[in-house]
Structure 1
Amino acid sequence: MKRNTSCLSAIPPNTLVPYLRRFSRGHVLVIGDLMLDHYIWGAVSRISPEAPVPIVHVERESLRLGGAANVYNNVLSLGGQAEVCGVIGDDETGKLLLKELGSQRRLPPGIVLDASRPTTRKARIVAHSQQVVRYDVEQRQDISQSIARRILKHVDTRLNAISCIVISDYAKGVITPSLMEHVGRLARSRNIPIIVDPKVDHFPFYAGVTVITPNHTEAQQAAGLSGHDHDAIHDIGHLLRQKLGCEAVLVTRGEQGMSLCESHGSSLHIPTMARQVYDVTGAGDTVVSTLALAMSVGASIQDASILANYAAGVVVGQVGTASITRAQLKEAIQHSHE
Structure 2
Amino acid sequence: MTRAKAEQFLKKFKDKKILVIGDIILDRYIFGKVSRISPEAPVPVVEVTEESYRLGGAANVANNIIALGGKAYVSGIIGKGFAGKIVKDLLEEKGIEVDYLFEDARKTTVKTRIIAGNQQIVRFDIEDTRRLQGKAKETFLSMIKNALIDFDAVIVSDYKKGVVFEELFRLLINHKKKNGNFVAVDPKIGHFRFYKHVSLITPNLAEASHGAEIEIKDEKTLIKAGFNLLKKLACDSVLITRGEEGMSLFEKKDSEVVVTHLPTVAKKVFDVTGAGDTVIATITLAHVAGADLVSAAKIANVAAGIVVGKVGTATATVEEILEILKTHPYA
Give the TM-score of the pair, scaled to structure 1.
Answer: 0.93
1:96 corresponding residue in structure 2:
86
Looking at structure 2, the residues matched to 179 and 216 of structure 1 have their Cα atoms a distance apart, in angstroms, of 25
2:188 to 171, 183, 199: 199
2:226 corresponding residue in structure 1:
237
1:330 corresponding residue in structure 2:
322
2:129 corresponding residue in structure 1:
140
Matched, 1:175 2:164: yes
Matched, 1:37 2:6: no
Shift of 1:15: 2.9
1:164 to 145, 149, 153: 153
1:85 corresponding residue in structure 2:
75
1:185 corresponding residue in structure 2:
174
2:205 corresponding residue in structure 1:
216
Give a deviation string over 1:249-280, Cα, whole Å, max 9, x none: 10000000000111131211100000000000
Looking at structure 1, the residues matched to 219 and 270 of structure 2 have their Cα atoms a distance apart, in angstroms, of 25
Shift of 1:147: 2.5
Shift of 1:131: 0.3
Q: For residue 143 of structure 1, give the secondary structure of its aligned residue in structure 2.
A: coil
RMSD: 1.6
2:103 to 87, 101, 113: 113
Extract unaligned runs of 5+ from structure 1. 1-10
Return the letter of the residue paired with 1:43.
Answer: K
Q: For residue 262 of structure 1, give the secondary structure of its aligned residue in structure 2.
A: strand
Return the letter of the residue paired with 1:322.
Answer: A
Matched, 1:277 2:269: yes
Shift of 1:332: 1.6
1:59 to 49, 52, 62: 49
Q: For residue 200 of structure 1, give the secondary structure of its aligned residue in structure 2.
A: coil
Return the letter of the residue paired with 1:34.
Answer: I
2:36 to 46, 50, 53: 46
Looking at structure 2, the residues matched to 214 and 118 of structure 1 have their Cα atoms a distance apart, in angstroms, of 27
Alpha carbons 2:75, 2:98 under 8 Å: kept: no
Return the letter of the residue paired with 2:288.
Answer: S
Looking at structure 1, the residues matched to 259 and 290 of structure 2 have their Cα atoms a distance apart, in angstroms, of 21
Distance 1:13 1:229, change over 3 A: farther
Which of the pair has the greater relative contact order for Cα pairs under 8 Å at 6+ separation? Answer: 1
Moved more, 298-307 or 235-244: 298-307
How do 1:242-261 and structure 2 match up within 5 A? Answer: 242-261=231-250
Return the letter of the residue paired with 2:29.
Answer: Y
Give the TM-score of the pair, scaled to structure 2.
Answer: 0.95
Looking at structure 2, the residues matched to 213 and 329 of structure 1 have their Cα atoms a distance apart, in angstroms, of 20
Identity of aligned residues (%): 43
Q: For residue 22 of structure 1, give the secondary structure of its aligned residue in structure 2.
A: helix
Distance 1:44 1:329, change over 3 A: same
Shift of 1:96: 0.6
Looking at structure 2, the residues matched to 149 and 304 of structure 1 have their Cα atoms a distance apart, in angstroms, of 35
Return the letter of the residue paired with 2:289.
Answer: V
Return the letter of the residue paired with 1:36.
Answer: L
Return the letter of the residue paired with 1:44.
Answer: V
Looking at structure 1, the residues matched to 324 and 128 of structure 2 have their Cα atoms a distance apart, in angstroms, of 38
Q: For residue 214 of structure 1, give the secondary structure of its aligned residue in structure 2.
A: coil
How do 1:308-323 and structure 2 match up within 5 A? Answer: 308-323=300-315
Q: For residue 273 of structure 2, give the secondary structure of its aligned residue in structure 1.
A: coil
Looking at structure 2, the residues matched to 249 and 146 of structure 1 have their Cα atoms a distance apart, in angstroms, of 34
2:3 to 13, 21, 28: 13
1:126 corresponding residue in structure 2:
115
Looking at structure 1, the residues matched to 15 and 237 of structure 2 have their Cα atoms a distance apart, in angstroms, of 24
Shift of 1:166: 0.1
Return the letter of the residue paired with 1:135.
Answer: F
Matched, 1:150 2:139: yes
Q: For residue 298 of structure 1, give the secondary structure of its aligned residue in structure 2.
A: coil
Shift of 1:299: 1.3
Looking at structure 2, the residues matched to 35 and 175 of structure 1 have their Cα atoms a distance apart, in angstroms, of 14
Alpha carbons 1:20, 1:330 under 8 Å: kept: no
Distance 1:303 1:195, change over 3 A: same
Looking at structure 2, the residues matched to 200 and 229 of structure 1 have their Cα atoms a distance apart, in angstroms, of 21
Q: For residue 270 of structure 2, give the secondary structure of its aligned residue in structure 1.
A: coil
How many residue pairs end up in the alignment?
325
1:268 corresponding residue in structure 2:
260
